[in-house]
Amino acid sequence: MPWPSLLTAVVTAAVTTAATPWVLRRLPRPPEAPDYPALATPRLLVAVGALTLVVTGLVTCLTPVAHWLAWASLAVVNVWAVVIDARTTWLPAALSRIGWGVAAVGVATAALVRGELGPVGAAALGAVTVGGFFHAVWAWTRQVGYGDVRLAATIGAVAALEGGVTLTAAAVLAGTCAGAVWGLAHRAGRHTGPFPYGPGLWSGPFLALVWWAVSGAL
């Protein structure tokens, strides 16, 4: 890993971890939501730091600098969301919306750097297509939560910005498979009730990014 990528990943992970208790204290909390501040345990902070370090390292090694801000919507903001989901099966809507905003600014930045509107169109199409697909799954089956729908829209935007239809399809497929594996592990552990689908879905674009890099190198 080149040292600028390593430094960026380490600093991002450290800042994200340090900000976690502050974020949890300030998240809007519907009456039925869990007590977010109580989640700020050492175990959760380690999880946030480790995940942010790994995925930020991947992004900074494998994507153009102009795309890093868009990826931060997944590699920073939605790290908090999926770690909360893993603990509570609850994806906070506020974090999803912040993720949308970061992705939008990141896409606009990429468009400015490239001097064309192609990134905006690709990201918008990805967000509508993937978000719309998961909205349909939610509406017809209620087998996913609406937080997963919001997350899917961000995934679609970022994956489409990076690699168009190919990377977007790979991200959705990888995330769906990871979510299925997570669900099987949940059942195997004799847990009942809903399981957190968000972490598996969230991992999809990063798995697809690794596949994209490896297949391009072969």
Please tell me the predicted confidence (pLDDT) of residue 69. Answer: 97
Q: Which amino acid is at 71?
A: W
pLDDT at 199 over 80: yes
Residue written as tokens 């729908």? 149
Distance CA 58, CA 71 (A): 10
pLDDT at 147 over 60: yes
pLDDT tens by residue, 12-71: 999 999 999 999 999 998 888 889 999 999 999 999 999 999 999 999 999 999 999 999
| Predicted model pTM | 0.93
Distance CA 152, CA 132 (A): 9
pLDDT (mean) for 92-107: 97
- Residue 204 tokens read as 């999809």
